[in-house]
A and B are shown apart, each in its own frame.
Chain A
């Protein structure tokens, strides 16, 4: 069995190695036609076009060299135009590290790639994703025998370098962060993997694959493979099995397949489960316009989106706690509970991190609300989004800084990239504005709680250690107190790892949900009475 696991790991590693290596391979040849189409959309400067015509058209270049030349030509062109007496500002090409590659360079690199993966996308798909998925699946499936009888399988977690911030953990951290940086800011280097999923994209929506399609595909694939790990690791625990299956279903169906199929039918790409304010672009002018222009379906999406946030989310949180979303439906949660599960023990439980968490998450919620309010104000007041409205800032500025700081850096690069350092759920715990909103409902008006089973707690600390949200579960359990914290996403692992059967996630009457402290069952002295008398 160990051998099978190792073969699986090797295959998986080969798949990833080819995937990563493909970034540095492949050829591009910009045809005249491709260049003209691109230049027409993106470039106003004749200087740029003339120079580019000589330096990049009809020449075989690597993606790196092509990207580099485009940037250099743009710089030269900008210098030229800035040296003129009257500067033609519309001819200046904006050069920003986080925008130019993806908005300006990527489309040309994508359209001009001619390498081997472009010619054999199917085969390239199988030797990268195919190998990684197959290898990962058999490596985890082998655990069924290797891990032995069903039960809690946490042996060696803090002694293994991958799960204890050791060298392997650091390597995973660098890989994750690197992937997100490339995905968000330099998709021009992901041309080959994007080509690999092109046939799939075409068969689903009819469109060419983009970096976002690649991301969606990889997201589903990673979640599926790690879901197998969850099914085996927690095979004695129906709550974990069901929860993992459901969250995987919502990711594949609602976040991946349905939106692509909608596009095939000329409808807007729409994720029906992605609720505002997590879906922060929902009330952006372009989204509203897009939905309004999409007929009855668009109107339905608009109404659904509003109903989801205003009614469905809080009502469901009232009955079941925010876990119904965070641990059963949400894609971010889904990734955290699958790919992130091996890292859950790394979340900090200190009081300090709880303080930081409250400032950050409520800060992001405030940011999202203010941004949305001014967006809607300018939308209804019919002020263009690029017009400066106060302090020299336009609505567009606010939106793009949120998109950069929160959408890309916080939720992606830090939120997922830092799994091996700060634990999974970094984003869900410190950043997600929807989690903050649901947290208020869960804390103050909900039937959900984690019940502490009387006096059975032995303060061992497994519950708190394996709480991905960094809740010091033990501090409540050892006092016989129920846990009603706003940040709890109801993953249920505290209850699973408890060796004494102390914790149970349940929905019950509001009365008796928050129980007084310092009365432990079996202790016939009512200490609370004494404390109250003081």
Chain B
């Protein structure tokens, strides 16, 4: 019987294993050095905050793996020999594979700051990072202040976590406004304000110079590059993005760049070796997506796709229209299609924006100025129906069409106050149109 081995038990690896099992009876082994059982790393923050226990982050009960004949091996792979098809572990044992899937995910990005390996300096990615955080920041007595470096999605999550235990947080952001490389100014500014309302000491437009140590090799303070200010702290969170976790592969004959190089079928340069998830790097980007996508759902999709290919049904990875979501403290964010920030958008991309006069809610719709083609939407504090926007993007609808049918797309819970009328009214004024909002129609929502 063929032996399929998957390195990494994150969402990509586990999805691949489940779908291979659906399609074949081969022997499947998943290797992990992080935790025996698959868990959702996006939920680690909720464990620290006390919303969940670690057990709750495991989507499958422990019996699931045996029942589905998926072997779980705990261990850290240090090298891959593609000639003999063997994997070497740190404990000098090895196993053979017939087909190999690399799904090793990411690791926190570090920029070579002085002091970045001190005790109390951590990222927020692995289960072990959470354990570190529990150790160095169990409460505001042990951790009198934490400094977070890097203003992205993980940074703001870490800030929320620490605030849940009333630990003072200083948040260093390189940009002049939070995440404004991605978000339009209206939204970025709204988040700035929201961060301050949560008593987070937000410092915009600053860089970390160095992390200083006490006599025990633990963090004692950080220095800001621009001002030279020293901020005393017990924990430093490094959240300046992630990078593929592939160091152990570099010595093998598998082709790597920043990630493991793959083609559209997620095949590497070596036959029977595949790479999926955060660690895979497309030779050429798909549409406007990045070559490396460290996103939950792309990991899952790559897992599904590679399972088809590996089971003999060669299938290209086609992630479809871009979408994503996040939560900035209390503000939910969803995006469908492409909305680029002022910094990154092209000449012909226009915005239509609406913002709630009081509450933290706003939208940005991006459209093509020439032909009014709808390009994408960002929503803050309003939930939207994925299915409807996916269809509108495929059907290349105009921004006017979106406005007219906006009610079909709302996904807020029942009895929520709806803002479509106000949004369309603003659109009519700005675009000199006379669009009347159509009532929500189940027929349209369900039409193929």
* Interface residues of A, Cβ cutoff 8 Å to B: 148-152, 154-160, 236-239, 242, 350-351, 451, 453-456, 458-462, 464-465, 474-475, 478, 492, 495-497, 499-501, 504-506, 508-509, 511-512, 518, 520-525, 527, 530-531, 534
Contact = CB atoms under 8 A, between A and B. Distances in A.
A524 B330 contact: no
A156 B61 contact: no
A249 B412 CA distance: 25
Closest 8 CB pairs of A and B: A454-B386, A151-B330, A501-B383, A460-B43, A522-B320, A524-B318, A238-B415, A156-B50
B67 to A, nearest CB: 10
A274 to B, nearest CB: 26
B50 A242 contact: no
Contacts of A521: 320, 323, 386-387, 390
Contact of A501 (B315, B332, B417): B332
B332 A499 contact: yes
B318 A454 contact: no
B53 interface: yes
B411 A504 contact: yes
B50 A237 contact: no
A492 to B, nearest CB: 6
Interface stretch (B115-123, B184-192, B296-304, B338-346): B296-304
B290 interface: no
Given A456-B325, A458-B42, A500-B327, A523 B319 contact: yes
Contacts, number: 174
Given A451-B411, A460-B52, A460-B57, 20 more contacts: A151-B330, A158-B51, A238-B414, A453-B386, A453-B411, A454-B387, A456-B297, A456-B334, A458-B325, A460-B43, A461-B40, A464-B56, A478-B59, A499-B327, A499-B332, A500-B326, A500-B332, A505-B413, A520-B297, A525-B308
Given A495-B413, A520-B300, A531-B22, A350 B56 contact: no
A241 to B, nearest CB: 8
Point out which of A459, A474, A506, A530 has the most chain B C-beta atoms below 10 A from its C-beta. Answer: A459
A321 to B, nearest CB: 12
A455 B164 contact: no
Given A454-B390, A465-B56, A531-B22, A460 B42 contact: yes
Contacts of A238: 413-417
Given A455-B297, A464-B56, A522-B321, A154 B383 contact: no
Contacts of A523: 301, 304-305, 318-320
B413 A462 contact: no
B46 interface: yes
Given A501-B332, A523-B304, A524-B319, A459 B49 contact: no
Nearest to A499: B327
Interface of B: 11, 19, 22-23, 40, 42-43, 46, 49-53, 56-59, 61, 164, 197-198, 296-297, 300-301, 304-305, 308, 313, 315-316, 318-323, 325-327, 329-330, 332, 334, 383-387, 390, 411-417, 442, 445-446
A462 B332 CA distance: 15
11 contacts: A239-B414, A242-B415, A453-B385, A455-B301, A456-B334, A460-B43, A461-B57, A461-B58, A522-B297, A523-B305, A531-B22
A451 B385 CA distance: 10
Contacts of B416: 237-239
A21 B7 CA distance: 63
Contacts of A505: 413-414
Contacts of B11: 459
A465 B52 contact: yes
A431 B308 CA distance: 44
A131 B323 CA distance: 53
Nearest to B164: A155
A501 B446 contact: no
B51 A350 contact: no
A474 B323 contact: no
B50 A159 contact: yes
A527 B315 CA distance: 10
A311 to B, nearest CB: 25
